[in-house]
Amino acid sequence: MSRLGPWAACSTLAVVMMLTMLSLLGASCSILSLLLPAAAVDGLPADAAAVSYEGYQVVRIRPATESQLTSLRVVLNDTELAAVDVWREPSRPARPVDVNVPPQVYPMLIDALKSRGLTYAVMVDDVQGHIHRESSKTRRVRRELRRKSAGSIVGTYASSADIVSWLNELAKTSSRVTLHSYGKSVEGRDMTLVKICNSTGTTKPIVFIEAGTHAREWIGHATALWIIDQLATSADADVARLLDAADWYIVPVANPDGYEYTHSTDRFWRKNRSKNNGSACRGVDLHRNWDSQWMKVGASGRPCDEIYAGPSAFSEPETKALRDVIVAAKANVKAYFALHSYSQAWLTSWGYTGQAPPDLDPLLDVAKKGADALMAVYGTHYDVGPGAVILYAASGCSNDWVKEKAAIKYSYSLELRDTGDYGFLLPSSQIEPTAIETWEGIKTAAKLILGIE
């Protein structure tokens, strides 16, 4: 159901941005920190141009019945509306559907909705304006960081280069942190695993956090960085107990090429940057590329679709490399959290079917208590349950593979703020509260899983 965004008309854009990084793989948390060099490039080549969303509006549609849901799917499948980018998929009656609409098809979409009696409202009336304002804030933060020569990027939507620089500095100053390159992306960027632990030298359970698989979901990257900072620097007793009980493995940017592209060229790019044979459309949806019921449901075989699952399961270097890290550590991994946005949902398996796994009850118990702890901070409500029930059915997802193939019992996907007021354009002012509440939820879940409370 995902539609092609405005980048379809810009398929000839080329971004030539390569990071020169050392490929170093560490075996344990007890070894010396291995530092990754910062990116050499932070910007666009002279012949590239950023995608403009001038005149775009985000429209929320509310199908009230199954019949209206079916009608909406017909509308969104209309080839004349192919430029409409679905941000929130049609799933069930009463659940809002959000779409980013270019000005040239806006009248046609509205006419189609009205003729079918579908209720709608404009949620964001100036998409490019929002992008510009947030970009201006980001540039100010970067200038300030560079002026100071060093500084924290925590609480910001940082560039790839600034993330690498900050992680390098953190590994120098915190004895808890080691950095490991676990592979190369399509465009040759290092993919970084951050290991955080105390220096006991003993084998411990592992809590694994993955973020940044979908490039445009910036709040996931920012939240992962906030959690890394807490684990690395906090003197809080809770953090000490968690580090005594487990090692923490965090991948803050699982799709580095796509993330860089959202900063340089197209803010709403979702996929990686693979070239697809026989198609001008680039990219594979990495969250449909895992070998868990691959291509069964909620995925596409068309390279121009946002949910293109790739030519085969694990066709992409990003998913293959992360799989290998998990396989190598799976005997000790006790919990897995994949951070996405947006919807405010704590999702259990399965994502590809409404049929429950046999151990759903303990999965739900931990998830509900985690969501309760999250809500206790600022009152943010999260729906809890299987992904196929709470959101929509989708196969080839990392958290399902972790449970199904790696046999890690407690595997979750968290859809962070918000529920559509801003969508993927969540203001930077909401990074800190989102990160704080998410960390409370994950801490609570981890304590229950590790048996330390």
Which positions are catalytic?
415
- Token pair recorded at residue 295: 């291509």
CA dist 283 → 184, 289, 400 (Å): 16, 11, 22
Helix (H) or strand (E) run with residue 88 in it = strand 85-88
Exposure string (b/e) for 92-127, b if CB count within 10 Å is 16 or more? eeebbbbbbbbeebbeebeebbeeeebebeebbebb
Left, alpha or beta for 100 (phi > 0: left; psi -120 to 50: alpha)? beta
Cα–Cα distance between 416 and 345 in angstroms, integer? 7
Which residues are bridge partners to 178 per DSSP? 195
Q: Phi/psi of residue 261, each to 5°? A: -65, -35
72 and 61 Cβ atoms separated by less than 8 Å: yes
Angle ∠(64,347,416) on CA atoms, nearest 5: 85
Cα–Cα distance between 29 and 196 in angstroms, integer? 7
SS3 at position 352: coil
Q: Phi/psi of residue 102, each to 5°? A: -70, 150
Cα–Cα distance between 79 and 398 in angstroms, integer? 31
Amino acid of residue 86: V
- Token pair recorded at residue 260: 């860089």
The alpha-helical segments, DSSP class H, found in 251-397 are: 256-264, 317-329, 360-378, 387-390
The position carrying tokens 């075996």 is 27
The position carrying tokens 């990754």 is 36
154 and 226 Cβ atoms separated by less than 8 Å: yes
Other CB atoms within a 10 A radius of the CB of residue 288 amount to 27
CA dist 120 → 29, 98, 133, 392 (Å): 52, 9, 26, 20
224 and 254 Cβ atoms separated by less than 8 Å: no
Which residues are bridge partners to 211 per DSSP? 339
SS3 at position 182: strand
User: Smallest Cα–Cα separation from 89: which of 300, 398, 393, 417?
Assistant: 393
